[in-house]
């Protein structure tokens, strides 16, 4: 799997420095606090995604894009935390499709891949979210950082990435693994200091099967 795509990098280089700096900050925040701030990231991603859909496809719904975008963004932001399980299922399914297409393109079973990957993403939401934010933060930081270096003429990002392709790929994979490890350690340290009112969604999902088992025992 190739993490650094030269076509994407060439487009990133054309972005203004202000947005590149913002991308570096967001990427580093995702890498460090992907799970710690998972509610914020979920609401932000859902709101921005819905706003972009309304902006690009508002005319298909017979509405002005500048009206459809904020309305969809507001509705998605309000419903994001309530639909987090559905979002986890779809995110896991799409991630599984992309992974299988990259690793084993000859396996042509999209429905099975989507459903199985979605269920894995749903039941392992905690770990999948850590891995996703660590990898996403690493890529965002790398792309925007290389874009800034090329913009300020520190080096030729495209030529350097083409020359160090395999090594850069391993470096990005290692950085994503370090981000995952850091988030696991941070979560374990903060879990002991967390009050019962601050339980996360993943912990609620872990407790739900236990409540069901105890209910069946009392009923029996």
Does the residue 158 lie in any domain? yes
Q: What is the pLDDT of residue 1?
A: 59
Is 13 part of any domain? yes
Residue 142 near residue 4, CB atoms below 8 Å: yes
3 state SS for the chain? CCCCCHHHHHHHHCCCHHHHHHHHHHHHHHHHHCCCCHHHHHHHHHHHHHHHHHHHHHHHHCCCHHHHHHHHHHHHHHHCCCCHHHHHHHHHHHHHHHHHHHHCCCCCCHHHHHHHHHHHHHHCHHHHHHHHHHHHHHHHHHHHHHHHHHHCCCCCHHHHHHHCHHHHHHHHHHHHHHHHHHHHHHHHHHHHHCCHHHCCHHHHHHHHHHHHHHHHHHHC
pLDDT in tens, 49-75: 888 888 888 777 778 888 888 888 888
Distance between CA 77 and CA 212 in Å, rounded? 30
Which of 23-27, 175-179, 195-199 has the lowest average pLDDT?
Answer: 195-199
How many domains, the chain?
1
* pLDDT above 60: residue 218: no
Q: Do the domain assignments include residue 219?
A: no
Q: Nearest CA to 99 among 111, 117, 115, 86? A: 117
Contact 65, 58 (CB under 8 A): yes
Banded pLDDT at 177 (limits 50, 70, 90): very high
Q: Which pLDDT belongs to residue 178?
A: 93
pLDDT digits (tens, 9 = 90+) for 178-207: 999 999 888 888 776 655 555 444 455 455
In a domain, 124, yes or no: yes
pTM equals 0.71
Distance of CA 30 to the CA centre of its chain: 8
The mean of the pLDDT values for the chain is 81
Residue 195 lies in a domain: no
Given a cut of 60, is residue 212 above it in pLDDT?
A: no
pLDDT band at 36 (very low <50, low <70, confident <90, very high): confident
**pLDDT beyond 90 at 92:** no
Residue 107 is assigned to a structural domain of this protein: yes
What sign does the CA torsion over 74, 75, 81, 83 have? negative
Q: 27 or 211, which is more confident?
A: 27
Matching residue, tokens 């520190």: 154
Residue numbers of the domain that contains 71: 6-190+200-206
**Is 211 within a domain?**
no
Residue 214 lies in a domain: no
Q: Is the pLDDT of residue 77 over 60?
A: yes
**pLDDT tens-place string over residues 132-160:** 889 989 999 999 999 888 888 777 888 88
209 has pLDDT over 70: no
Q: What pLDDT is stored for residue 194 in this prediction?
A: 59
How many residues are listed for the chain in this entry? 220
């Amino acid at each position: 799997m190739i993490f650094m795509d030269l076509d994407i990098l060439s487009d990133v280089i054309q972005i203004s420095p202000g947005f590149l700096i913002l991308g570096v900050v967001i990427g580093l925040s995702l890498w460090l606090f992907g799970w710690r701030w998972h509610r914020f990231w979920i609401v932000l991603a859902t709101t921005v995604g819905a706003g972009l859909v309304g902006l690009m496809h508002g005319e298909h719904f017979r509405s002005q894009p500048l009206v459809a975008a904020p309305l969809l963004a507001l509705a998605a932001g309000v419903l994001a935390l309530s639909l987090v399980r559905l979002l986890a299922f779809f995110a896991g399914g799409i991630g599984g499709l992309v992974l299988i297409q990259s690793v084993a393109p000859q396996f042509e079973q999209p429905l099975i891949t989507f459903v199985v990957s979605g269920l894995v993403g749903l039941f392992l939401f905690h770990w999948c979210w850590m891995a996703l934010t660590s990898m996403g933060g690493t890529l965002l930081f790398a792309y925007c950082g290389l874009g800034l270096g090329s913009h300020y003429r520190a080096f030729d990002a495209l030529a350097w990435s083409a020359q160090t392709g395999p090594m850069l790929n391993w470096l990005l994979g290692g950085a994503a693994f370090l981000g995952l490890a850091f988030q696991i350690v941070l979560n374990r340290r903060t879990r002991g200091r967390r009050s019962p009112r601050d339980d996360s969604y993943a912990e609620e999902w872990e407790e739900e099967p236990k409540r069901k088992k105890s209910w069946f025992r009392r009923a029996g």
